[in-house]
Each structure stands twice: as structure tokens, then as C-alpha cells.
Amino acid sequence: MSASALLHAAMLRWLNELSSQGVFTTDVHLTVASWNAWLERATGVAAADVVGRPLLEAFPELAGRRLDRYYRAALNGEASVLSHGFHSHLIRVATPSGHMLQTARVAPLLEGDAIIGTITAIDDVSERVHSETQLRGRIAEAEHARGAAEDALRVKDEFLATLSHELRTPLNAVLGWTRILLGQNVDQEMMTRALHVIDRNAAAQARLIDDMLDMARIVTGKLRLEFAPVDLMAATLAAIDVVAPTAQAKNITIHKMLGNRPLLINADGDRIQQIVWNVLSNAVKFTPQGGRIDLRLGETAEHAQLMITDTGKGISAEFLPHVFERFRQANSSVSRTEGGLGLGLALVQQLVALHGGDIAVSSAGPGHGATFTVTFPLAAADDTQLTLAIGAPSRTLSGRRVMVVDDEEDWCDALAQMLKNHGAEVQVAHTADQALAMISSGDWPHALIADIGLPGTDGFELVRRVRELESGDGRIPAIAVTAYSGKANIRRALEAGFDQYRVKPISSEDVVAAVAGELTARDPREPGKAAGAISQGEL
Amino acid sequence: MELNTLQQDALKELLNIGFGRAAASLSELTGHRVVLEVPEVSIHPITALRPALARLDQEDVASVHQIFSGPVAGDALLILNHSAAGMLKQLLTDEAPLPLDVDASAREVLTEVGNILLNACLGSFGNLLRVQVSFSVPQLNLDTLHGVIESLTVNREGMRYALIVHAGFRLRDAEVRGMLVIVLSVASLDKLIRAVEAWEQAEGGR
């Protein structure tokens, strides 16, 4: 044999035995002429069993799937590609996960210009297709993540626009009425009206900021809850009291089905009230004139459940899944009719979750109202002590002398007026030195409210000197009220001698309540534990 | 060499038979109604291919290439720009697109599409000339248009011409455009045109 004939024979042997493709040939009558080892292994059909048999008889599926035409075309000179995308496979090969995906090529075999048969080459593309599918999946995931991120950015942008609008609106009212008051010819009636407007708007703004701060604390995991047994019914009644005036103004009827006994849950009382108030005021906000709100309180073996149903504007099916998302509002356009930041319900959901509870919403669609269902785990049976975390302590300050030290004159005046309204006698100082001078002259107050950031001697130093000047058993309550937050400041304040630390913004009523609480705790006629609570200081 | 109106009409009519056959195959394979637009035909010397292919718009192209041999011999290509290739593949298979260079499955599907169209057109020529034309297995290449033209012109002897056919695939309310390029020697082209003329006269006279 010549060298080239030897090589030719070796190539055929290689194709037959070692090729990583399936290769078979037929003659012009489509009788199988060769069947390589790859095909034997893949199909389990031995060459001895198929060579010499008509292809279409050995594999009737080929004609069944009209693939015989590619062989007829090959006998007519045409070469064809059969992609797995269109045909899945040529010769069916079962695999554990289904069947092998194949791409095949069918071509004529020529001797000179004459066609003497056909050749078929088959590639197993299963693995490749699998990795393409995975790649496609990963790309889709990445696209989805990008879409979600863009969406979140857009929602945040809208939130910022809403935020500036929401902060500006009450501010405009405050500024407008303040200018009127500063002008001439203000009678008592107008003065009262102006102060009411200012009070309402400032409170609204403080609430917005509180919501944001709460959300920030939750997001950073810094919200601290003080758990104690709380009566959900009392909390609900308290929340109803708060929204009652607004509901009345809109002629909305509130129906209470609260049962007749306390429903104790282990919770942070202030937060529970915040939760109920938020959901309830939301219902009032979205319920039109003359509407109705139903409150139902119930319990199962392990849970207390509050359902708030309104006849309001309802929620569309598209928005329903997003109700509790931060910064989301069904109508985020500037022309929307309802105010708010879109934080309230997100905050509620987070707070409920922190209590181990659950909140759900349902609505039959726009115009059909909505139902919010809040569920909390019931307090364990041995939590028998009922602590109502709601309701203000005694505010009677009559006969008490309270010293207010703050360099912000407006705040000082407001606080002094509020303390006076509660019967207190008030001493005002704008610097620590002024305050110390008053105390040194023997004019001892019953309680001290002081800012930290004072010009000259600061609040820390002030309370330290006061403590030095005190006689052994005459420790007066001292409350720090300041814009400085942060754990370090709180610790420093308590170490310096303050009993409580409150972060502005805080209503003057809260300060009054805190003073009253401290005084009551120290009064031998009303014995109680000495309070050293930290409030709002975690941020 | 230029085609007169009669020759152009005759070639169009002949190619239309091939296009019809290819459209029927594609419709059957995909389960969607595929229509191949009535082709537009022109002839250009191989050295002046570039302006004739300007309609492809993009430099990056996918081309399905088959060599045919026999009494009439040459190269046949379906050329699609990348956007058209991606779109056609997605329309045909419903799969989310990947870049063509990492999507071997898409390249195979496009190879088969080109294969069907080229086989149908060249098959019509073979039938007309009553000659046996044999085809190579199709190859898909991702290249620049410049590279494709280069591969057709280098190391080839003799004056050669290209039959350029505009192909428009219409399916699922979308349209994808490509170019069919059939490169022939002067002798082969002459033979083809004369046969087409004779066929047209016979058809017309019937």
C-alpha cells in the first residue's frame, strides 16, 4: 500500500474508533454502510446490528419526523445542517436527564461528479446548551437586579421630592402665620387661630421627622424596644382618641368591636400605639366624607388580632404588593391629593415584625375600601402584671419650682409657658453661669431642665456643679433636653449627673410629663422607682 | 456585465421559487408563518462588492457560507448584520438573546436558516440548468464585512461576478433584512443567465 493509502486507511480507523462525533454513512439506497464506535456507545446499537439495514427502517423515527427529506436532498447534492434549536436531535439517545441534544450535518458523498452515498456527522451539544441556558439565566438575573436598583433609585428620587414638599408645607403655614403675628393689629381671636395653626403644623413636621428617624433606626438596627405587657384594647382606644377629631371633621363614623376585656401582648407600649395610630390615621386619610371605619379586636389561642376596615378609596391590585414598601405611594405625582411621606406603613410593618407580629392588607380594588389586619403574639400567661404604657403621668406641678436653662430663647419661653400652665413656678436662665448664680443665691429649684450646648460653661459642667452644691439627701431631678444625640453624649450626661436625657425635637408636653414623672418618683407621698430612662437617645 | 430588465425579471422569478420553498421549510420548522419577500437582484463585479453591500449598515456581520461545485461552481453566502442575526434568531426560537460570539446554539440555528435559503436558491439553478450541483456543508463566520469581501477576492483567478439578492424575512409582525451573495465565474454566470432567459421565454410562451 502506498503511504497515502496507509494514511487514508488510518484516518478511517480513527473516525471509526476515536472520533468524538457520531459518524455514519449510507449508500445511494440509504442502506447503512458504516456506524462508528461513538454511535455504538451513545445509542447502544452495535454496528453489526445496523450496517446493511435500510436507515429509515432501522430508525423509523426519522421518517416520522420528516427528517428523511434531508437524506433525499443529500442524494440530490445538497448538504444540510440540522440544528438542535429546530430539531432537538437526529437519532434519539436517552440520558438520565431526558435526551441528548444534537446538531447534525448530512451531506452527499461524491466520486467525481457522481453521488455515491451520504455521510452524517452528529455532535452532542447537551452540555454546551446547558451552559448557554445558565448564562442566559445569569444575564436575566443581572438585568433584573439592575432593573430593581433603578426602580429603587427612582422611588428614592420621588421620595426626596415628596420629602421637600411635605417638610415645606407645614413650614409655609408656620412662617405665614408667624409673619401675621409679627405684624400690626392682631386681635386675640386671630392670635389664637394663628397659634393653633402653627402648633398643628409644627407637630405634623415633627412627626414626619420622627418617622424618618424611626425608619433610619430600624434600617441600621438601632431601634430599642422596651417590652412589657401592654393592653392592645387600651392602645386601640387611645389611638381612636387621637384620630377622632379628624374623623369627626370628615363625618366618618368609627365602629368599635373591641370586646370587653384587656388583650395583653408583650410589647413596647409607645410603639404599639404608634402602630395602631398609623394604620387608623391612614384609614381616616383615605376615607372620604361620610365614610365608615370598623375596628375589630379578636384573639386566637396564641394571637391577638386587630382588623381595621375602611370604606375608602381602596388599593389597586398592582399596588397591593407594594403597600408596605418604603417611600411607596400609590400616587406619587405632584398632583396627588393625600400628603405624607409614604413611610408610615413601612414603619408599621417593621415595628410589627420587631414585635414578632404580622400585618396584612386586602382590598377588592379601587373604590372598595381596604382592610388591614395586624396580629401580635399574646403575652405569656405568667406576664400577669398589667402595665399600661399609655397615658400621661400626673402633670400637676403646682407649688414646684422648675429651672429652665437654654440659650434658645423661643424654646425657653414656650417651655416656661407650658410649665406655668401646669402650675409650676419657672426660673429661666440662658447660660450655665446665670443658672449657677441663681442657685448659689439660695434659690434652689425642685427640678432642672438644661440644654447641653450652652455658651461658655456647658450643660455637663452645669449639672456637675449643681450636684456638688447639693446637700447629701437633696438630689433634684435634672433632665437634659438637647439636639445632641448619640450614645457617647447620653453616657456623658448621665455620668455628669443628669437623670434623663431627651433629644429635640420633643414637645414641651413631654418635657412637662418627664419632670412630673421624676418629681412623683421622688415624692415620699407617692413612692415609686427612681426613673433613669433614656428616651430617643439611641440614634 | 449588467442585467437587462427581462433578465432581471427572469432571475427574480426563478429565485422566488427558491424563496418560496425556503419560506415553507422555515414555517414548518418554527411553527410561525415565515414569508420571504420577493427578491431584488443585481449583478456586480466582485471587485465592486462593497458599495453593493452598503445596505447591511453595520460592519460586524454573520455570514453563512457554502461552496458549490459541478458544471456551475462558486460561493454562496447569506450575510446578516449582527442586529439582524440576533433578531432573526430570537424570532425563530423565542430564546432570550446572548451575544452571538458566546451563543453557539444561535449560530447553529442561523447556519441552518442560511443553509435552507442557499440550498433552495442554488437548487433552483441546478434544476433549471439540468445539472448536478454539489454543496459543501455550510459554515457560519462572525467577521467584518471587509473580511468577508476579502475572503471572496483573494487568491481567486479569473473575472468573477456576484449576484446580489436582497432577502427580507417577515415573521411575527417583524422584518429582518439580509443579503444573499452568489459568486460565479463569468462562464458560469453566462450559462445561468442564458438558461434563465430561455426558461422565461418558454414560461411566457406557455
pTM for the whole structure: 0.56
CA distance A44 to A93: 9
For residue A59, pLDDT over 80 is answered with yes
Contact check, Cβ <8 Å, B105/A83? yes
Pick the residue with more confidence: A326 or A248?
A248
DSSP H helical ranges for A183-291: 188-219, 232-249, 269-286
CATH number of A228-377: 3.30.565.10
User: Where do we find the cell 400652665?
Assistant: A421
Task: Give Cα separations from A312 to A73, A281, A290 (angstroms).
Answer: 71, 12, 10
Q: Among A17-26, A384-393, B144-153, name the most confident range.
A: A17-26
Contact check, Cβ <8 Å, A129/B105? yes
Contacts of A70 in chain B (CB under 8 A): none
Pick the residue with more confidence: A283 or A340?
A283
Contact A499, A469 (CB under 8 A): no
* Alpha carbons within 13 A on the beta-carbon side of A344: 20
* Alpha carbons within 13 A on the beta-carbon side of A441: 6
Tell me which residue of A292, A324, A297 sits closest to A309, measured CA to CA: A292
Contact check, Cβ <8 Å, A103/B115? no
Q: Which fold has domain A3-124?
A: Beta-Lactamase (3.30.450)
Q: Is A108 on the interface with B (CB under 8 A)?
A: yes
Give buried/exposed letters for A159-189 (b at 16+ CB in 10 A, else e).
beebbeebbeebeebbeebeeeeeeeeeeee
Q: Is B94 on the interface with A (CB under 8 A)?
A: no
Contact A248, A289 (CB under 8 A): no
Nine-digit cell string for A301 = 389561642
Q: Is B139 on the interface with A (CB under 8 A)?
A: no
- For the stretch A387-442, pLDDT in tens is 333 333 444 687 889 999 988 777 777 778 778 877 888 999 999 999 999 888 87
Pick the residue with more confidence: A516 or B121?
B121
CA distance A152 to A326: 10
Contacts of A107 in chain B (CB under 8 A): 135-137
Contact A371, A295 (CB under 8 A): no
CA distance A215 to A199: 24
Contact A108, A118 (CB under 8 A): yes
pLDDT given for residue A183 in this prediction: 81
Pick the residue with more confidence: A269 or A414?
A269
Q: State the DSSP H helix or E strand holding residue A311, giving kind and residue range, or none if neither.
A: none
pLDDT bucket at B181, cuts 50 / 70 / 90: very high
- The percentage of residues in chain A with a pLDDT greater than 90, rounded to a whole number, is 30
CATH number of A150-219: 1.10.287.130
Pick the residue with more confidence: A123 or A333?
A123
Contact check, Cβ <8 Å, A136/B98? yes
For residue A232, pLDDT over 50 is answered with yes
CA distance B123 to B21: 10
Q: Which fold has domain A401-538?
A: Rossmann fold (3.40.50)
Contacts of A118 in chain B (CB under 8 A): none
Tell me which residue of B1, B13, B130, B10 sits closest to B70, measured CA to CA: B130
Q: Among A179-193, A208-222, A363-377, B94-108, name the most confident range.
A: A363-377
The distance of B114 to chain A (nearest Cα, Å) reads: 9
Q: Is A84 on the interface with B (CB under 8 A)?
A: yes
Task: Give Cα separations from B167 to A106, A194, B198 (angstroms).
Answer: 25, 79, 25
Pick the residue with more confidence: A388 or A194?
A194
pLDDT given for residue A334 in this prediction: 41
Nine-digit cell string for A71 = 437524506
DSSP states of A24-46: EEEETT-BEEEE-HHHHHHH---
Strand partners, A109: A117
Q: Is A111 on the interface with B (CB under 8 A)?
A: no
Q: Is B54 on the interface with A (CB under 8 A)?
A: no
For residue A70, pLDDT over 50 is answered with yes
CA distance B163 to B154: 18
Contacts of A80 in chain B (CB under 8 A): 112, 115, 119
For residue A535, pLDDT over 60 is answered with no
For residue A119, pLDDT over 60 is answered with yes
Going from N- to C-terminal start, the domains of chain A cover 3-124, 150-219, 228-377, 401-538
Contacts of A136 in chain B (CB under 8 A): 95-96, 98
Contact check, Cβ <8 Å, B136/A79? yes
DSSP H helical ranges for A32-125: 37-43, 47-50, 55-58, 60-64, 68-75, 84-87
Nine-digit cell string for A345 = 406603613
For residue A114, pLDDT over 50 is answered with yes
Contact A417, A299 (CB under 8 A): no
Binding-face residues of B in 143-202 toward A, CB within 8 A: none
pLDDT bucket at A285, cuts 50 / 70 / 90: confident
CA distance B206 to B195: 17
Q: Is B138 on the interface with A (CB under 8 A)?
A: yes
Measured between CA atoms, the residue of chain A closest to residue B71 is A113
Contact A514, A481 (CB under 8 A): no
**Do the domains spanning A150-219 and A401-538 agree at the CATH topology level?**
no
Nine-digit cell string for A344 = 408610615
Count chain A–chain B contacts defined by CB atoms under 8 A: 83
ipTM confidence score? 0.85
- The percentage of residues in chain B with a pLDDT greater than 90, rounded to a whole number, is 17
SS3 state of residue A368? coil
Binding-face residues of A in 48-67 toward B, CB within 8 A: none
Pick the residue with more confidence: A511 or B206?
A511
Contacts of A108 in chain B (CB under 8 A): 134-135
CA distance A331 to A60: 63
Pick the residue with more confidence: A43 or A453?
A43
User: Where do we find the cell 375608602?
Assistant: A312
Count of CB atoms situated within 10 Å of the CB of A351 = 23
Interaxial angle between packed helices A188-219 and A344-354, expressed in degrees from 0 to 180 and rounded to the nearest 10: 50
